[in-house]
């Protein structure tokens, strides 16, 4: 080795030896501890529903999923099994419910008409069934591979 290269090689070997030492590396300092602050209890910690009024709606018959609107007559049979999907005012001014039935429209119509007959209703006019003073409008429409049965409780005199 030349006289000039020897000190450079020795310096490089010293650096490599220092990097390979088995000493423990210094641990990085941890996060500083956060100060603890006292807080008051939650504003609703003592809230109670004991004095609240609870609205209880009558459940639909066992074969119908959903809650019927208040005042819906219990003597009107509903298609079963079905799911209540809507309710409100019908096109003739009466209370209307819309129920979805997982059947083809023709099969849904036949099954529901059979239920109406067993409950004492008879066909009166196109789409209207009557038992005494009670008249209901019935329409079965196709909907997404199933059927929707639209029932309207017709006002008296219709």
Ordered by start, the domain boundaries in the chain are 64-153
Per-residue model confidence as pLDDT tens digits over 34-59: 787 777 777 777 777 777 776 665 55
* Burial class of residue 116 in the structure, from the number of CB atoms within 10 Å of its CB (0-12 exposed, 13-18 middle, 19+ buried): buried
What pLDDT shows up at residue 18?
60
The percent of residues in the chain predicted with pLDDT above 70, rounded, is 75
Query: Which residues neighbour 17 within 8 Å (Cβ) at sequence distance 6 or greater?
Result: none
**pTM score, whole prediction:** 0.61
């Amino acid at each position: 080795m030349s006289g000039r290269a020897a000190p450079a090689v020795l310096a490089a070997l010293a650096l490599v030896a220092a990097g390979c030492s088995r000493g423990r590396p210094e641990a990085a300092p941890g996060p500083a501890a956060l100060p603890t602050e006292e807080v008051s209890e939650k504003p609703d910690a003592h809230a109670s529903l004991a004095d609240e009024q609870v609205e209880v709606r009558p459940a639909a018959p066992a074969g119908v999923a959903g809650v019927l609107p208040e005042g819906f007559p219990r003597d009107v049979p509903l298609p079963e099994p079905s799911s209540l999907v809507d309710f409100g005012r019908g096109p003739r001014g009466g209370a209307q419910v819309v129920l979805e039935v997982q059947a083809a429209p023709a099969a849904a119509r036949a099954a529901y008409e059979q239920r109406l007959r067993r409950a004492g209703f008879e066909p009166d006019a196109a789409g209207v069934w009557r038992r005494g003073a009670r008249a209901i409008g019935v329409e079965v429409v196709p909907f997404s591979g199933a059927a929707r049965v639209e029932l309207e409780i017709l006002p008296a005199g219709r």
